[in-house]
Chain A
Amino acid sequence: MNKFKKIFATDSYIVPLVAILLGFLVGAIVMLIGGYDPIAAYGALFKRVFGSPYDFGEAIREMTPLMLTGLSVAFAFRSGLFNIGADGQVLIGMTAASLIGIKWAGLPLFLLVPLAVIGAGLCGGLWAGIAGYLKAKRGINEVITTIMLNWIALFLANYIVRTFLLIPGQNRSEDIPASISMTFLNSFFDNARLHWGTFIALAAAVFFYIYLWKTKQGFEMRAVGLNPHAAEYAGMNVGRNVMKSMFIAGVFAGLAGAGEVLGVFHYQAVFAGSPGYGFDGIAVALLGLTHPFGVILAAILYGMLTYGSAGMSFNADVPPELIRIVIGSIIFFIAAQGIVRWVLKPFYFKRKKEKVL
């Protein structure tokens, strides 16, 4: 875990940039081997993202939950925790937002909307807090509990939707009157489903940065993450920090859930399986080197690639799964920094300022 932490928490940005280039290169090689034209494929990918206002807007929509789940994983990581449970926290956030948005529909919108968003964040936080509590008080590894909580969240969310919110005969909830869609942009973006969640995500990144590096509580959390023993000796309450960190991570993920139901779908479906937001979040967090601003950039890249991959298959006849190879390679190259450093070696020699790993 410690080594793992070191690899993904370095603050150098050259490595990820090179890793991204190498990732695209590997993807291109695989395409060539498979008899596809990589230039056409990547061209189609970017054309899909930037080709029309609608697609551009939809790409942003795709990035938004990735930003928040990425932040969620990264935040926990910074205090030494591996949050595999962002997925479940997103589901709990969605369900809370749907419940509040539908059941309290009598409230005026200017109250209902913030309530639903806040409720989603809080419930996501409390859900993650369960894992934090078990870790702090009972010493149970959070990796295991968050995975278990993912499944519990899935079935709990489905149960609530079925029991309280269902449109009879359909596999989805009633429409949610509370909305955070940015409808005023509809004419610019051709009705792409843009919503305020994107700004919530950006604000969350700023909060992440300020909280962790500028406040007293963040100081504690970083100390606990880097050396819990020394933190304890210094009088910090390690358990409390673990719970707090999981809570905040869960809030981020819960807000992602709010964005999806209140901003994109306006209803909640009954899920057949894990929607996968949280797992993408792990990739995004690692890609962003667990730094909040890095996570935002990584989510933008990740969102572009996944959204654009549909264009790849449509216009260049390349299977969209190939983009997974690109993403996987990028993460691989970030983890295997040795390779990247080897590629960079000639440049490093000139600069003579080598950093010791």
Chain B
Amino acid sequence: MSAAAPVVELKQITKRFPGIVANDSISLTLEKGEIHALLGENGAGKSTLMNIVFGLYQPDEGSIEIGGKPVIIDSPNKAIELGIGMVHQHFKLVDPFTVTENIILGMEPKKGLKIDYKSAAEQVRKLSELYGLQVNPHARIHDISVGMQQRVEIMKTLYRGADILIFDEPTAVLTPQEINELMAIMKRLVAEGKSIILITHKLKEIMSISDRVTIIRRGKVIDTVKTSETNPNELAEKMVGRDVTFKVDKLDPHVGNTVLKLDGVNSKNKEGISVLNNLSFEVKSGEILGIAGVDGNGQSELIQAITGLRKIDSGSIIVEGKEIANLSPRKISEMNVSHIPEDRHKHGLVLDFTVSENMVLETYYKSPYNRNGFMNNEVIDKHAEELVQAFDVRTPSIHNTARSLSGGNQQKAIIAREIDKEPTLLIAAQPTRGLDVGAIEFVQKQLIAQRDQGKAVLLVSFELDEIMNVSDRIAVIYEGQIVGEVYPKDTNDQELGLMMAGGLKRGGKAGE
């Protein structure tokens, strides 16, 4: 009988936070060797449930069985003891340490009083080989890519003997290439007898890799289905409770005057390496320009240059006829430039501020929010209330801290704030990262609505689908340079992929 017992069984788990039931009597089983996907809208309670399994939260009601035995998981240490490992969306690594040092941290193999690095590195290398992880045990964390860092997180759990692995939105931060590699790694893991719970918003991934899917809506299990017996449309419908089209409907653009013009922009990083290399392009009012490119080719630096967060060495950046290169972020913001930053925790929000305070993070000093130097809280709260309503930000109250919101709702709060500023130029960096399909549809519609109102939109995204569906024109960035401009209808994924890899240059100006 114990042979047939599922590796994890959650029974009627309920978890309440002030003002909200995050998990409402959730039951779920994970079989040995299975990849079980968790699907649900932003704020549905997926992370909360997994944090309970990993011992970070205690359930208010319900019980957990591991391998048929009832257990109480009151700390992550307990979870690790039970063979549970979790790869968090935000990595918990020590940057200046090497891969090996990070992996053994807290469980160092000893030789006398000293740490036995040699055998540790050897162990790390073996693990890496067994699962096809290909990490250099001696590299330092700050020198390796995000995808590699994630593998270090995976190895941390394996090193601690995890048989049950929880992945919370592992692909949100990865490039398409890295995603494929991760999928292969996961398959290797289950082939070796591990069991996996995978949280993701990407239906493609669920269809391609999972064995079963559990759909959660507003804290309740809607259904558990076999992946082979379902399809993306059905999943999306179960998840949001309505039809999702996946297609972005938009009218032809009415392109107007040039709003943003970059001309020969050069910038070097601290090491003196050129990160923006004679970069030029334009965005006109009423159009969405998509910047396609592999992560790390100058996208972040480009946005920093336009928003005043990075000094440029030469070239010009003109917004509505005015030179803005090297002006302060505040001055540029006041020229009606809005910015949805890539890293919402680090740059987009003050997590310990309330939702209400975050909504005026850039405009707090203006009337009516500021009245003779004092914060006008009544107006600020009313404003936040309106935005939360209009953009469907799910929070029990505007006085909750931004930290307590689910990842997707944090993103919606930022988007609400930036669009509310009525910008002439809207810069959106990875605006749909970590959002559920319903929310993605919503955000993309908002971007298109902005463009239809005659605003200029600059969209930076690693998602080719998003670039292809939303942009009116695409510029490909490679090593800090625009290597080509194309119209979505004149190109395809292959060609874009080739350009993004630096293998093809096309067109000075698209279609002209």
In the bound complex, CA of A234 to CA of B418 (Å)? 11
B329 touches A232 (CB 8 A): yes
Please encode chain B, from 343 to 357, with 1 for each CB lying within 8 Å of some chain A CB and 0 for all others.
000111111110001
Contact A356 B57 (CB under 8 A): yes
Within 8 A of B (CB), among A208-239: 214-220, 222-223, 226-227, 229-237
B339:A219 contact, CB within 8 angstroms: no
Shortest CB-to-CB span from A203 to chain B, Å, is 18
Judge if A352 is at the interface, Cβ distance under 8 Å. Answer: yes
**In whole Å, how far is B363's beta carbon from the nearest beta carbon of chain A?**
9
Q: Is the CB of B57 within 8 A of A216?
A: no
Given A235-B362, A352-B60, is A230 in contact with B374 using a C-beta cutoff of 8 Å?
no
Does B254 reach chain A (CB closer than 8 Å)?
no
Neighbouring B residues of A215 by C-beta, 8 Å? 373-375
Using A223-B353, A235-B328 as known contacts, say yes or no to A229 and B373 having CB atoms under 8 A apart.
Answer: no
Q: Which residue of A lies closest to B332 (CB)?
A: A235
- A216–B375 CB distance below 8 A: yes
Number of interface residues of B (CB under 8 A): 30
Verify if A353 is at the interface (C-beta below 8 Å from B): yes
Give every chain A residue within 8 A of B328 (Cβ-Cβ).
Answer: 235, 237
**Chain A residues positioned under 8 Å from B45 (CB to CB):** none
Q: In the complex, what residue of chain A is closest to B330 when comparing beta carbons?
A: A235
Q: Does B370 contact A (CB under 8 A)?
A: yes
Which residue, B58, B329, B361, has most C-beta atoms of chain A within 10 A?
B361
Q: What residue of chain A has the Cβ atom nearest to residue B307's Cβ? A: A233
Given contacts A219-B357, A232-B329, A353-B18, contact A214 B375 (CB under 8 A): yes
Q: CB of B397 within 8 A of chain A?
A: no
Q: Which residues of B contact A354 (CB under 8 A)?
A: 58
Q: Is B222 part of the binding interface, using a Cβ–Cβ cutoff of 8 Å?
A: no
Given A216-B365, A219-B357, answer yes or no on A233-B341 (Cβ-Cβ < 8 Å).
yes
Cβ 8 A contact of B361, one of A218, A234, A356: A234
Q: Which residue from B58, B351, B365 sits with its C-beta under 8 Å from A227?
A: B351
Inter-chain contact A226/B309, CB cutoff 8 Å: no
Judge if B175 is at the interface, Cβ distance under 8 Å: no
Bound CA–CA A237/B333 (angstroms): 13
Contact: A230 with B330, CB < 8 Å? no
The answer to whether residues A223 and B18 also contact, given A216-B374, A233-B347 and a CB cut-off of 8 A, is no
With A216-B370, A216-B374, A235-B333 in contact, is A227–B350 under 8 Å at CB?
yes
Complex interface: chain A residues within 8 A of B352 (CB): 226-227
How far apart are the CA atoms of A216 and B366 in the complex, in Å?
A: 9
Q: Which residue on chain B has the smallest CB distance to residue A210?
A: B374
Q: Closest Cβ of chain A: how far from B437's Cβ, in Å?
A: 28
Chain B residues closer than 8 Å to A223, beta-carbon distance: 350, 353, 361
Task: Answer yes or no: B364 CB below 8 A from chain A CBs.
Answer: yes
Q: Give the distance to chain B from A246, nearest Cβ to Cβ, in Å.
A: 20
The count of residues in chain A whose C-beta lies closer than 8 Å to any C-beta of chain B is 24
* Alpha-carbon distance between A234 and B370 when the two chains are bound, in angstroms: 16
Q: How far is the CA of A181 from the CA of B328 in the complex (A)?
A: 49
Instruction: Flag if B60 contacts A230 (CB, 8 Å).
Output: no
0/1 per residue, A88-125, Cβ < 8 Å to B?
00000000000000000000000000000000000000
Contact between B350 and A232 (Cβ–Cβ < 8 Å)? no
User: Nearest-CB distance from B63 to chain A (Å)?
Assistant: 17
Chain B 315-345: CB-based contact to A (< 8 A → 1; otherwise 0): 0000000000000111001000001010000
Please determine whether B346 and A216 come into contact, CB atoms closer than 8 angstroms.
Answer: no
**Distance from A139 Cβ to chain B, minimum over Cβ atoms (Å):** 13
Contact yes or no, B353 A226, CB < 8 A: yes
B368: min CB distance to chain A, Å: 12
Bound together, the chains give a CA A352 to CA B58 distance in angstroms of: 11
Q: Given A219-B357, A223-B353, A352-B60, are A229 and B374 neighbors across the interface (CB < 8 Å)?
A: no
Bound Cα distance from A220 to B347, whole angstroms: 15
A102 and B199 alpha carbons, distance in the complex (Å): 72
Interface centre among A218, A229, A231, A352 (most CB of B within 10 A): A229
Contact B18 A230 (CB under 8 A): no
- Contact A233 B348, beta carbon cutoff 8 Å: yes
Contacts of A214 in B (CB 8 A): 374-375
Across the two chains, which residue of chain A brings its CB closest to B370? A216
Distance between Cα atoms of A234 and B346 in the complex (Å): 12
Q: Which residues of A contact B353 (CB under 8 A)?
A: 222-223, 226
Whether A230 touches B333, Cβ cut-off 8 Å, given contacts A216-B370, A235-B328, A352-B60, is no
Contact, CB under 8 Å: B351 / A235: no
B444-469: contact bitstring with A at CB < 8 Å (1 yes, 0 no)?
A: 00000000000000000000000000
Residue among A216, A222, A226, A234 making CB contact with B351, cutoff 8 Å: A226
Q: Which of A217, A226, A235, A352 contacts B350 (CB 8 A)?
A: A226
Q: List, in ascending order, chain A residues with CB within 8 A of B57's CB.
A: 356
A233 in contact with B339 (CB, 8 Å): yes
Q: Which of A216, A217, A232 has the most CB of B within 10 A?
A: A216
- Inter-chain contacts of B374 with A (CB < 8 A): 214-216
Q: Which residues of B contact A229 (CB under 8 A)?
A: 346-347
Residues of chain A lying within 8 A (CB to CB) of residue B60: 352
CB distance from B430 to the nearest CB of A (A): 15
- The CA-CA distance from A221 to B241 in the complex, in Å, is 43
Q: Would you call A233 and B373 a contact (CB within 8 A)?
A: no
How long is the Cα–Cα vector from A234 to B333 in the complex, in angstroms?
8
A residues near B18, Cβ cutoff 8 Å:
353
Q: Which residue of B lies closest to A236 (CB)?
A: B330
- Cα A226 to Cα B357 in complex, Å, equals 13
Bound-state Cα–Cα, A233 to B361, Å = 9
CB-defined contacts of B58 to chain A, threshold 8 Å:
354
Which one of A214, A235, A356 has the highest number of Cβ atoms from chain B below 10 Å of its Cβ?
A: A235
Contacts of A353 in B (CB 8 A): 18
Q: Which residues of B contact A237 (CB under 8 A)?
A: 328, 330
Interface residues of A in 332-357 (CB under 8 A from B): 352-354, 356
Q: Are A216 and B348 in contact (CB under 8 A)?
A: no
Which residues of B195-213 have CB atoms within 8 Å of chain A's CB atoms?
Answer: none
Q: Which residue in B16, B307, B350, B370 is a CB contact (below 8 Å) of A230?
A: B350
B365 touches A232 (CB 8 A): no
Q: Which of B307, B351, B353 has the largest count of A CB atoms less than 10 A from its CB?
A: B353
Greatest chain A CB density within 10 A among B350, B364, B365, B374 is at B350
User: How long is the Cα–Cα vector from A233 to B353 in the complex, in angstroms?
Assistant: 15
Would you list which residues of chain A between 179 and 227 have a CB under 8 Å from chain B?
214-220, 222-223, 226-227
- List, in ascending order, chain A residues with CB within 8 A of B357's CB: 219
Which residues from chain A contact B333 at a C-beta distance below 8 Å? Answer: 235
Q: Which of A217, A218, A230, A352 is close to B346, meaning CB atoms less than 8 Å apart?
A: A230
Residues of A within 8 A of B370 (CB): 216
The complex places the Cα of A59 from the Cα of B98 at a distance, in Å, of 55
Q: Can you list, as one digit per residue, whether each of B369-398 has a CB less than 8 Å from chain A (1) or not (0)? A: 010011100000000000000000000000
Nearest opposing residue in chain B for A233, CB measure: B347
Cα A236 to Cα B357 in complex, Å, equals 14
Across-interface contacts of B16 in A (CB, < 8 A): 352
Nearest Cβ on chain A to B39's Cβ, whole angstroms: 25
Which residues from chain B sit less than 8 Å from chain A, CB to CB?
A: 16, 18, 57-58, 60, 307, 309, 328-330, 333, 339, 341, 346-353, 357, 361-362, 364-365, 370, 373-375
User: Can you give 11 contacting A-B residue pairs, CB < 8 Å?
Assistant: A216-B374, A230-B361, A233-B307, A233-B309, A233-B348, A235-B362, A236-B330, A237-B330, A352-B16, A354-B58, A356-B57
A220-B364, A230-B347, A232-B329 known, 10 other contacts, Cβ within 8 Å: A214-B375, A216-B373, A222-B350, A223-B361, A226-B352, A227-B352, A230-B348, A231-B350, A235-B333, A237-B330
Closest 4 CB pairs of A and B: A235-B330, A234-B361, A233-B347, A235-B329
